Amino acid sequence: MKPALRHDLSSAPIWMAMAGAILLTIMDAIMKGLSDRFATIDLVAGRYVFGVVWSVPLAVVVRPPWPGAAMLRAHLLRTLVVVLTALCFFYSLSVLSLVEAVVFSYLAPVFMALLGRVMLGEKVAPAVALAIAVSFAGVLVIAAGKGLGVSTLGRDLWGVAAALAAALFYALAMVMLRARTSSDHLVGIVALQNLIAMAYVLPFSLALGDPGALVAAHWPWLLAAGFLGTFGHLCYAGAFKRAPAAKVGTVEYTNFIWASAIGYIAFRELPTWSAAAGAALIVLGSLILFVKRRPAPA
């Protein structure tokens, strides 16, 4: 019998997810700082190699159960989606400002609500079509602010496309994570994710990139990124173990605060009018999902 998914009504899942959001936003800033000098494939490989450096010793100490065949199959597929998320998002960081790349991730809660309903049978409020329309309008506002049009096929447009793809892959990965947290140990999930992701990406990095130069020049930053990624995902795994995907997904909105602050401090980036207005529309669209409709009269 499949274990039931928990629904913790306290604020604990929200605080855990917020801690994860802060840790992962700082990690994203580190990756952005390196993205102008190194290929995306090398950054993704470095992130997961150093994720293994932190997560495997943690698993040795905690000693979660060894993964069974079902767990291994599930995480082989889920980690492929995680890797696609990282590739798309890290590329978008190399093209867009930190705030702009993060704002597009606000579409993830809409995707999470849809996927959570389809894949896990989790009920969310109706008006999904309206939520998607409003959120998509926010994306168009951001694109318009960057001067992107049908005839504009510049580098920024590929960055926007990559950020949108990352939001979809991220939502799928988080819903798949929610599906496994009822049966799998959290530390086991994160350690297995790092190991499998490293196995997926490192051969391509060695064949197509130059990960050695990245590690030699910036291993302290990669070590920090591995720590932030490992414990950020542990926080998110704990949140998804306790609450539905749609509820936890709303915490993504706090990223605008963290990304704005980090972007200004590290890169002297200020949010543009289009990023702020687009973020407001995307947040509004996502919040529509959580407005409960009154039951129809009998």
Q: pLDDT of 27-39, one tens digit each?
A: 999 999 999 889 9
Average pLDDT over every residue of 70-86:
92
Residue 146, C-beta contacts closer than 8 angstroms, at least 6 positions apart: 100, 156, 160, 274
Q: What is the pLDDT of residue 151?
A: 45
Residue 201, C-beta contacts closer than 8 angstroms, at least 6 positions apart: 41, 44, 45, 48, 83
Comparing 103-112, 158-167, 183-192, 243-252, the range with the smallest average pLDDT is 243-252
Q: What mean pLDDT, rounded, does the chain reach?
A: 79
pLDDT exceeds cutoff 70 at 256: no
Share of the chain above pLDDT 70, in %: 71
More confident residue, 154 or 248: 248
Comparing 55-59, 233-237, 243-247, 266-270, the range with the smallest average pLDDT is 243-247
CA 252 – CA 137 distance, rounded (Å): 18
Tabulate helix, strand, coil % of the chain (nearest 5). Answer: 80, 0, 20
Q: What is the pLDDT of residue 294?
A: 45
CA 128 – CA 42 distance, rounded (Å): 38
Cβ atoms < 10 Å from Cβ of 294: 5
DSSP 5: P
The per-residue pLDDT for range 14-31, each reduced to its tens digit, is: 788 888 888 988 999 999
DSSP 122: -
Q: What is the pLDDT of residue 97?
A: 81
| 295 — pLDDT class (breaks 50, 70, 90) | very low
CA 26 – CA 235 distance, rounded (Å): 14
What is the signed CA dihedral for 236, 237, 240, 245, rounded to 10 degrees?
A: 60
pLDDT exceeds cutoff 90 at 49: yes
CA 219 to chain centre: 23
Q: What are phi and psi of 4, to 5 degrees?
A: -75, 145
